[in-house]
Amino acid sequence: MTMSGGFVSLVGAGPGDPDLLTLRAVDRLRSADLVLHDGLVPAAVLALAGAAECVSVARRVGEKRLSQQDVCGLMVAAARMGQRVVRLKSGDPFVFGRGGEEVHALIEAGIPFEVVPGLSTAIAAPTLAGIPVTHRGVSSGLLVVSGHAPEAWAPLLGAIPPGAATVVVLMGKRTRGDIAAFLIERGWPAGTPAAVVVDASHETQQVWTGDLLALAGSPEIGGDDRPAVIVIGEVVTAAAMPHEVTAILAEEHTWQSMTIRQP
């Protein structure tokens, strides 16, 4: 039986900068007893949780992995003890965050819950790099895919005509070459503009720009442990980059190291 006060909030942490959290997300963190967080959630966001116990339930490659069933079990057990639980996810809970699976587990267990939306990196990362994912006369559609495995992205990318929409790939840094080569094989021009945004919203944010042919060569982009979002389409050429950027030329590809200034 659920004890009085037990409650779970599925909270989106956005791209990582605490300033980009919603007011409700901050409130839930400050009032939490337990925070179960993803591996990409930075310490600056977790600091808002105050005295709450913060437990990593990271599922990133190379880290100790809990099963989804284990994560759901932790939420349910803590809520049944009367705790206020925050399940803190990078981006938005319902965009490749398995939030739907966790909601179903909470409903089945009879646990009261809420979902607090967050800025998805699919939109936030391009925006922070000055890239509009849609642009009048350039692109009127957006396709967001998970890049972790071909079975996740190949059916969708193979189903759209070349250049029909802006393509945003999450979790695709390791497969960037395969994805670019796949699109070229299916008729996308090799010169289609592409960008990779690394560490979006952080002081270490960097932006690589090039084209599909360059991306197919799996260019060196940050490090494998740094999150990245790939943007493919003509919208990359419509980017309105901040004035304070440091351009670093590497072969034929351009890195832009973003200077983020605090007000």
Would you state the pLDDT for residue 74? 95
Burial of 19 (0-12, 13-18, 19+ CB in 10 A): exposed
Q: CATH number of the domain at 121-258, out of 3.40.50.1580, 3.40.640.10, 3.30.360.10, 3.30.950.10?
A: 3.30.950.10
CATH number of 7-116: 3.40.1010.10
Phi-psi region of 130 (alpha: psi -120 to 50; beta: other; left: phi over 0): left
Q: What is the mean pLDDT of the chain?
A: 87
Residue, of 241 and 73, whose pLDDT is higher:
73
Average pLDDT, integer, range 178-195: 96
Burial of 50 (0-12, 13-18, 19+ CB in 10 A): exposed
Give the pLDDT band (50/70/90) at residue 4. low
What single letter denotes the amino acid at residue 259?
T
Average pLDDT, integer, range 66-70: 88
Average pLDDT, integer, range 2-7: 66
Tokens of 144: 């967001």
pLDDT of 256 higher than 70: no
Tokens of 96: 């490749």
Question: Over pLDDT 70: what percentage of the chain?
Answer: 85
Give the pLDDT band (50/70/90) at residue 250. very low
Would you state the pLDDT for residue 137? 84
Average pLDDT, integer, range 162-168: 95
pTM for the structure as a whole: 0.85
Would you state the pLDDT for residue 247? 36
Tokens of 52: 């709450």
Average pLDDT, integer, range 142-153: 95
Residue, of 263 and 37, whose pLDDT is higher:
37
Residue spans per domain, the chain: 7-116, 121-258
HEC secondary structure over the chain: CCCCCCEEEEEECECCCHHHCCHHHHHHHHCCCEEEECCCCCHHHHHHHCCCEEEECCCCCCCCCCCHHHHHHHHHHHHHCCCEEEEEECECCCCCCCHHHHHHHHHHHCCCEEEECCCCHHHHHHHHCCCCCCECCCECCEEEEECCCHHHHHHHHCCCCCCCCEEEEECCCCCHHHHHHHHHHCCCCCCCEEEEEECCCCCCCEEEEEEHHHHHCCCCCCCCCCCEEEEECHHHHHCCCCCCEEEEEECCEEEEEECCCCC
